[in-house]
Chain A
């Protein structure tokens, strides 16, 4: 690894300056922003960026930004406002309490006693997955399932993924637990150095396995893996869980869900990496799909990445999504990313609308007893 640990910040600084120079003030970024409840204007942001004098409005807006990237897609001048927001997050005068709580358990080496305690409890309560949590011995395998922090996701995605792999008779290794956090959540809230630290640590763990493919069901983990591959020139290839399972689609016997199923695009996979197709293709095995928006890129974000700083704001995003699903008369919605699932779960449960992680759905649709 050849990074000096500050390259995130440097790139971000360059991008921000380029954005400042290039912005032509159309304000399109702020018009399309799904969380701009304060109606902040772009010039307010740039004034703070230049003068360093924060206003309460701008500070609140920056903490509420969900990093969905709609602003960047909307900009006529090619300004990457989402990255400028990231830069502003890294400059925030105060870190919101909900963020600090969120970081608390995410792999900080200096809090290892806390993590150790967590690991003990986790191993005891996680059933078959328990043995993988923050383990230190790995076997060399071509296929690595990387669950990181989401190993205990209440979506059941990790368990379902491994069941599918077993059903397919695959040989694999598992990397899971908070010590292998990818650092992307920290990064998305402006904690650049912290995120970088996590990513470097993750690389050392991956090197123990020497995989050819790394499969993750979390869009942020997937993004972090892409970044890592690019920075290190690693030989492995990151795959989203739908991408991986699609490669084995014909080896399984599928039963279709009743009615139409909606699909929620992860901002990272669809808007940022530009891969809306694999999940959709996988979906055709198990359901008739109904599109919620005119284009996959128009999909409204789950709102997770302001890290619960304002619940009302995110509730509104979830209600908007539910309305869409109901409008289109879908029997439920599938997601490809566990973060999206966790963000939506309460609203969907309250409304009694089924919400599926795709791996859980696929596992259920390919059970031999139903085939």
Chain B
């Protein structure tokens, strides 16, 4: 097999972005995508599917004819191991020889194995969502273990569906970390409790008996649906010689320590120079960026993911949020503007805009993203107000409304 056979393991955002970029960079090459899921879909809108805002068709990431148009080969199956010496990917029933390989195999949810939780569900992929959707139509009382972003998103979707008895058990003393800080969490918790959601904070499951959770605090909660949302961990096929920590360790061009083997997305970790430690990748946008960088490196081109400001915008509970740059931190000046329906926090450090957390009202978010790291002329509480005119400050081409 020639070196122009690009093999991608994984059909998520990292794998798909890499495949698309590869096709742009090399019109002739053979590109194969190995996946155990049928098609590329938007994981991040599973909650909207559960709450029936979206249809299955809408979640689909590309059209039926897309793979054909892009001339991608599809291989369905589970990858058992990778043999980097012979450049082979081993599936159950076949071996695929690669020229360059991208591992974008994603992550898998953590699970608590307590007696009594055998029929509990997780919330990660399409099958999980389908199961939740099916069970939820018959259930009245839900318990969600884990008050992270995903757990909150699910709670929001179920609340939108009109399920009244939802409880969240969270080991920390506030929900939504590390996206939220204490003050933002207090705001959200008030809203959630207002919607009738029960929050057990600084608490965890002690034991479960017959669809009844007994918490460490002594509180109990009966449930007919139990969903675990206690984080994810990277998953990747066994690969001799591959340098891994919690995930596959890559550099900012998505290269691993092995020649011709690249990795991108949730299965990886990347060294954070500031924090001086390896950090796993969990964000959709980062997955896309790493996939793109990988495609460049695989074709002998160069695209470095220098450290653009962090940007993540999606749903937390039922609210839209944007998390930009570094809004939380002990130092610098923090400004908060809040109403019943919105929470906005702006952080300025050394006279420069360090970060923003916008929930419920995200006015100016793209202009704020553009302004991260730039000098803020006017340092005052007005910065946090939605009326603050960021466009005048950022002066960039690339702002929210293009002016």
Q: A residues engaging B (CB < 8 A)?
A: 7, 10-11, 14-15, 20-28, 30-31, 41-44, 46-47, 50-51, 53, 55, 69, 76-78, 80, 83, 223, 226-227, 230, 272-274
Contact = CB atoms under 8 A, between A and B. Distances in A.
Interface string B44-83: 1100100001100111111101100110000000000000
Interface of B: 13, 17, 20, 41-45, 48, 53-54, 57-63, 65-66, 69-70, 284-285, 288-289, 292, 311, 313-315, 320, 322, 362-363, 365-366, 369, 391, 395, 397-398, 400-403
B384 to A, nearest CB: 16
Nearest to A42: B58
B70 A51 contact: yes
Contact of A24 (B70, B284, B363, B366): B284
Given A26-B45, A27-B58, A11 B284 contact: no
B403 A25 contact: no
Given A14-B398, A227-B402, A230-B395, A22 B285 contact: yes
A25 B59 contact: yes
B397 A24 contact: no
A25 B44 contact: yes
Contacts of A20: 288
B44 A24 contact: yes
A167 to B, nearest CB: 32
Contacts of A10: 397
Contacts of A226: 403
B403 A77 contact: no
B69 to A, nearest CB: 4
B215 to A, nearest CB: 32
Given A24-B42, A51-B69, A51-B70, A274 B313 contact: no
B268 to A, nearest CB: 16
A28 B44 CA distance: 13
A11 B313 contact: no
A50 B67 CA distance: 11
Contact of A27 (B20, B54, B400): B54
B66 A22 contact: no
B33 to A, nearest CB: 14
A27 B63 contact: no
A78 B311 contact: yes
Given A21-B17, A41-B58, A273-B403, 13 more contacts: A14-B398, A22-B284, A25-B41, A26-B42, A41-B57, A51-B70, A53-B65, A76-B315, A77-B314, A78-B365, A78-B366, A223-B403, A227-B402
